[in-house]
Amino acid sequence: MGTFYTVHFWLFSALAIVSALAMVTRRNPVAAALWLVNVMFALAALYVMLGADFLGAAQVLVYAGAIMVVFVFVVMLLNLGENDVKEQRSMGVAVAASVTACLLAAELLYMIRSQPISSAALTTVDGDALSPIANSLFTDNLVAFEVTSVLLLVAVIGAVVLAKRGKVANVVRS
Amino acid sequence: MIREALYVSAILFSIGVLGVLTRRNALILFMCVELMLNAVNLSFIALSRLHGVSGQVFVLFVMTVAAAEAAVGLAIVISVFRHYRTVDLGRIRLLRG
């Protein structure tokens, strides 16, 4: 691991964390969505640096490209502004939430720190990065793959039924 | 760099938890849930360097489920908005005792 690798690893890590903090604190939903896209891109870079090239590309396509576009689309559709939602500003809730999150982070960091992770056991990615994933996906996990396709079908139908106004929704409600 | 990636993953997950606990906008709450899913994906990919490629396969499944969850969740948000004219979770209190 050279200096170039280390510097860029920490660069993208810092970008992800700062963007996540910015997302959590934005009042405007569109600004929050764009900061989240920033997190997704930084994470895609980290995936590539960890040897998961295909998943880095999938992250950009699926998360930054599709899911976040749907989020922004819904924000625009509902025409939400900055002042439509009264954020809870009571100090007690904010302090309790911050303490909980900090405790969770401290516990997770301590747990990771106490684990023996030897860098000697690293599996090297030799050449084609995609065929091991495809082999595992279409042999060991074939049933899960097929069930996932059914899940997507159910999600599509469910989204249409839930969001559609009129006959279908009335039938479901009654 | 596996340990460092796990550190980053833990911090991102905690930020997502912080957002879920503090925000009252349903859409931003969904974004925080997506952030937590992404943090878990990062730890899967880091650990797949140690334990083989099945971690990466699982990340594919997580992405699919996240897409399905976003579609259904946003449809629910639209439906709730039609009914209450707001996405403020503090004002949607029908089930609150």
Domain boundary residue, one of A87, A122, A143: A87
In a domain? residue A54: yes
In a domain? residue A95: no
In a domain? residue A44: yes
A87–B23 CB contact, under 8 Å: yes
Structural domain containing residue A17: 1-87
d(CA A2, CA A167): 62
Is the pLDDT at A171 greater than 60, yes or no? no
Neighbours of A82 (CB within 10 A): 11
Note the CATH architecture for domain B2-84.
Orthogonal Bundle (1.10)
Is the pLDDT at B83 greater than 90, yes or no? no
| Residue B20 Cα, gap to closest chain A Cα (Å) | 9
Domain count, chain A: 2
- Token pair of B67, please? 């897409």
Lowest mean pLDDT among A26-30, A163-167, B51-55: A163-167
For residues A73 and A145, state if they share a domain: no
Q: Is A146 on the interface with B (CB under 8 A)?
A: no
| Residue A41 Cα, gap to closest chain B Cα (Å) | 11
pLDDT tens-digit map of B8-37: 999 999 999 999 999 888 899 999 999 999
A50, A165, A170, best to mutate vs chain B, most B CBs in 10 Å: A50
**pLDDT, position B84:** 85
**pLDDT, position A13:** 95
The domain ranges of chain B are: 2-84
Query: What mean pLDDT, rounded, does chain A reach?
Result: 86
Q: Is B36 on the interface with A (CB under 8 A)?
A: no
DSSP secondary structure string, chain B?
-HHHHHHHHHHHHHHHHHHHHH--BHHHHHHHHHHHHHHHHHHHHHHHHHH-THHHHHHHHHHHHHHHHHHHHHHHHHHHHHHHS--BTTS--TT--
In a domain? residue A82: yes
Higher pLDDT, B68 or A87: B68
Neighbours of A97 (CB within 10 A): 18
Residue B88 pairs in a beta bridge with B25
Domain boundary residue, one of A53, A87, A121: A87
**pLDDT, position A151:** 95
ipTM of the complex: 0.92
Q: Is B80 on the interface with A (CB under 8 A)?
A: no
Looking at the partner chain, which of B3, B68, B77 has a beta carbon nearest the beta carbon of A152?
A: B68
- Token pair of B11, please? 């911090």
For residues A69 and A142, state if they share a domain: no
In a domain? residue A151: yes
d(CA A141, CA A101): 35
Q: Is A64 on the interface with B (CB under 8 A)?
A: no
Q: Is B8 on the interface with A (CB under 8 A)?
A: yes
In a domain? residue A101: no
For residues A14 and A83, state if they share a domain: yes
Q: Going by C-beta distance under 8 Å and a sequence separation of 6 or more, which residues neighbour residue B27?
A: A29, A32, A33, A71, A74, A75, A80, B74, B77, B87
* Backbone phi and psi for residue B61, each to the nearest 5 degrees, phi listed first: -65, -40
**pLDDT, position B52:** 83
Residue B25 pairs in a beta bridge with B88
